Structure 1
Amino acid sequence: MYRPHTRSVVHLALLINMLSLGSLMMVMPLGPDFISALSMDAKNIGYISGGATFASAIVGFLAAPYLDRFNRKHALIVLLTLRFGLTAACMFATSQTHLLLLFILAGCVAGPASGVLMAAVVDIVPANERGKQLAYVGMSFSLAAIVIMPLSLELAHRINWQAPFYIFGLGGLLLALLVLWFFPSMPPTHRVQQGSSPTAVPASVLHDLLASPLFLLGLTIMSLQMFGHFLLIPHFSNYFQFNLAFPRDDISLLYLCGGLASMVTMQLCGNLLDRGYASRTIVVTTLLLAVVILCGFVLPFSLSLYLVFTLFMALSAARSSSTLAITAGIPLPHQRAAFMSYQGTAANVASGLASVASAAYLSTSAEGKIDGFSQLAIASAVFALAAMLLTMRLIPKLAERSRKMAARQTAQTIP
């Protein structure tokens, strides 16, 4: 039905996710700039990213039952306009409190917008191509690291800390216009033909999903992955600069290396998923990630930070995109936007909790260094391994359900 629009939707989804993720991620490496301009405490950077992700989680949860009732195109245009308009408004912040408030308001819209966008992608892309196409969309994380993060650092360095907010905010509004021009109309009536009424009671949508063990397992996996990931991510820039004496001017190059490597690993893993190697992909990427975390941030190895960070970013992105492609098979067509929003809510709650908990756990020494980072690295590796074990349970359960549904459809077609 939407086949002619597949390429334009997938490309736009990549750009939108790249800018949305980048505008959220950039507050972490911009921490030192906030410290000097807004007199912010170094450990409070985690509270900014954590507050935004909590807001995204709460609104995403409340909005999820309603998202499948609207035309995906129209809903996405409204949500993107709000999302990036509020991002641009962050330039007017005059204190850390003002910045936190505006950034949280922008985060409120991020969850529902992401849910609708990813549901549209899953609706359009055929099932046998989802691994590759979702890996392509998943490159938005890497591109955010390659393009948005270094660009935000350069803009803040050469102009001021407000520059990234209004430039990326305006860029997001332009993407909303492109959605208006290039996205196909995706009314809920088309999804009725695949299984459910668009006017279903919102409470029943949540009830149906909560009654599914696969749904709960998928959310648990995503939560564990994101919690472990965000124990470290918000504090990398400060840790590298204050503990490892890494030059401020080279941070953008560090993220560039990590992002380029991530693009390669995600495309490789996407192809492996489409060829049926889901289990091996998850196991290999997770085990290697745990080794990199322990060797890079816990054990006394004198490894290059470029090597450690590049491998960390590449393996994390490959694992995340592979997990997303696997969990995309959990919801039925009429549940996709709700599922994606709930999954985003779980991820945001987990990452927000991790950001806040890690910020509360870490302390600043008299020399200005961050204490306690190695303990967080150990915890991050443990959460990664726990998520891997649960994913190994999910994959055969999804395969079994697919076989049962195929058998049921075959039986119904036989006179």
Structure 2
Amino acid sequence: MKEHTPTAAAGNTPAATDKFSRYQVFIVAILAILQFTIILDFIVLSPLGAQLIQELAITPQQFGWVVSAYAFSAGASGLLAAGFADRFDRKKLLLVFYSGFILGTLLCGLAPDYFSLLIARIVTGIFGGVIGSISFAIITDLFPLQMRGRVMGFVQMAFAVSQVMGIPLSLYLANLWGWHAPFLLLVGVSVLVAAAVILYMKPIDAHLKLQTESKAVWRLVRVVSNRHYLKGFGAIVLLATGGFMLMPFASTFTVYNLGISLEQLPMIYMVTGLCAMVAGPLAGKLSDQLGKYKVFFWGSVISMVVIGFYCNLGPSPLWLVLLLNVVMFIGITSRMVSATALMSAVPDPADRGAYMSIQSSVQQVSGGLATMAAGLIVVQSPGGALQHYDVVGYVVITTTLVTMFSVLAIDRLVQRKVAAAAVAGATV
């Protein structure tokens, strides 16, 4: 297959006909599988909650600390990693943090008590929280802007795959051999992924020639004080708000407010996950062909309409709940894929690792704060139904509207960068 030569002039143009080389296909596949392991490790704790609370004899509040420990340690490590993220070969950096992630997951699989599990989740978060940013920096280094929508669509499909395949398999193993089993299986899969990276991924070090600062602290200060980068960080805060406010209470709202039984709940996750697996790559392809902001705009419109209707529903038939969940996930997926691809062009090549690390940190922390804010808004009645979930929906709609203007400013910034790069014969 013919190798692709990046051309900055194509930038954000609608006609993206570039073909992937075999090596690029490998990179997309290995990063998608790698993201699958990271995401599954993060989300598998929630469905294991009932079993963990019983077997470890802990309170729901203690379980909440186990879940949040990963997010906050990931946010802190992302910020700390920003100072040196661009000073190493990205392949080596990826392997170092992925090895730490595997160690943390192994500690989870061997944890005998609550305290050991809490420490293991902190270790896993410290290493796992940075891997996503390294992966996105690799994508930005190896793929030109007009191909990144498709790449992001496939890589972010990992969330849907973990929901459709990972969670059911993890629950099956947990019921068969105990809650440690999913983590130990994940260790085995991750070791194979690491071996593939070692054997087949080439060094990614072109950015090293562009480095100027010798001290990590000055690099961090320069990146966080760049006004263009601040626009990207602000957009990430707003993007994280929507999903992290709605999702933690979605299953409770579905069961107690919409009248869907616990037996029917897995079907909703399965169907929406399958649709998201299709929607991710499709949204990526459309964002490359039609323009990234255009796909983001219509994804936002779809999300706002469905969220406004969904959050005000009462008892509803299963088919309607399924339909609304599918359409809502299509809108949210379209927003995330197109926005991630667009914002990958914000940092300069020398700052990509630092920018992505800070962006990951901002996303983790803002997501945690959004979940806390939603918890302050909703109230559960004695019968189990959630009150004020409609207020959460209105907050998400408002932040979505603001995000549309924020991402529009980023789109115009990227277009100017693409035009300037085309004149200079450089890449974005």
Given that 1:9 and 1:183 are in contact with CA atoms closer than 8 Å, whether structure 2 keeps it comes out as yes
Residue 379 of structure 1 is matched in structure 2 by 395
1:347 to 363, 372, 375: 363
Q: Deviation string for 1:240-283 (max 9, x for gaps)?
A: 44555544454443222112211222222212221242222111
Residue 237 of structure 1 is matched in structure 2 by 251
Q: Deviation string for 1:93-114 (max 9, x for gaps)?
A: 4555543332232111122222
Residue 335 of structure 1 is matched in structure 2 by 351
1:404 is aligned to 2:426: no
C-alpha displacement of 1:340 = 1.2
1:109 is aligned to 2:127: yes
C-alpha displacement of 1:4 = 5.7
The separation in 2 between residues aligned to 1:275 and 1:389, in whole angstroms, is 22
Residue 207 of structure 1 is matched in structure 2 by 221
- What pairs up with 1:47-66 in 2 under 5 angstroms? 47-66=65-84
| TM-score for the superposition, normalised by structure 1 | 0.88
| Structure 1 residue runs without a partner (length 5+) | none
C-alpha displacement of 1:323 = 0.8
The separation in 1 between residues aligned to 2:93 and 2:171, in whole angstroms, is 32
Given that 1:149 and 1:255 are in contact with CA atoms closer than 8 Å, whether structure 2 keeps it comes out as no
C-alpha displacement of 1:192 = 3.9
Given that 1:50 and 1:355 are in contact with CA atoms closer than 8 Å, whether structure 2 keeps it comes out as no
| Aligned CA distance change for structure 1 residues 234 and 183 (closer, same or farther; 3 Å) | same
Residue 145 of structure 1 is matched in structure 2 by 163
Given that 1:43 and 1:362 are in contact with CA atoms closer than 8 Å, whether structure 2 keeps it comes out as no
Given that 1:263 and 1:314 are in contact with CA atoms closer than 8 Å, whether structure 2 keeps it comes out as no
Residue 211 of structure 2 is matched in structure 1 by 196
1:132 to 131, 146, 150: 150
1:278 to 292, 299, 324: 292
The separation in 2 between residues aligned to 1:369 and 1:34, in whole angstroms, is 25
Q: Deviation string for 1:162-201 (max 9, x for gaps)?
A: 32222223322221121111111223xx2244x334x632
C-alpha displacement of 1:51 = 2.9
| Structure 2 residue runs without a partner (length 5+) | 5-20
Structure 1 letter corresponding to 2:335:
R
C-alpha displacement of 1:85 = 2.1
| Aligned CA distance change for structure 1 residues 4 and 302 (closer, same or farther; 3 Å) | closer
Given that 1:239 and 1:370 are in contact with CA atoms closer than 8 Å, whether structure 2 keeps it comes out as yes
C-alpha displacement of 1:392 = 1.4
% identical aligned pairs: 23
Q: Deviation string for 1:211-253 (max 9, x for gaps)?
A: 4322111111111111221112223334444555544454443
The answer to which of 46-55 and 144-153 deviates more is: 46-55
Given that 1:153 and 1:252 are in contact with CA atoms closer than 8 Å, whether structure 2 keeps it comes out as no
The separation in 2 between residues aligned to 1:80 and 1:351, in whole angstroms, is 23
Residue 13 of structure 2 is matched in structure 1 by none
Structure 1 letter corresponding to 2:414:
L
| Aligned CA distance change for structure 1 residues 42 and 312 (closer, same or farther; 3 Å) | farther
Residue 120 of structure 1 is matched in structure 2 by 138
1:307 to 320, 323, 341: 323
Structure 1 letter corresponding to 2:304:
A
**Superposition RMSD on alpha carbons, in Å?**
2.7
C-alpha displacement of 1:363 = 4.4
Q: 3-state SS of the aligned residue for 1:67?
A: coil
The separation in 1 between residues aligned to 2:53 and 2:166, in whole angstroms, is 20
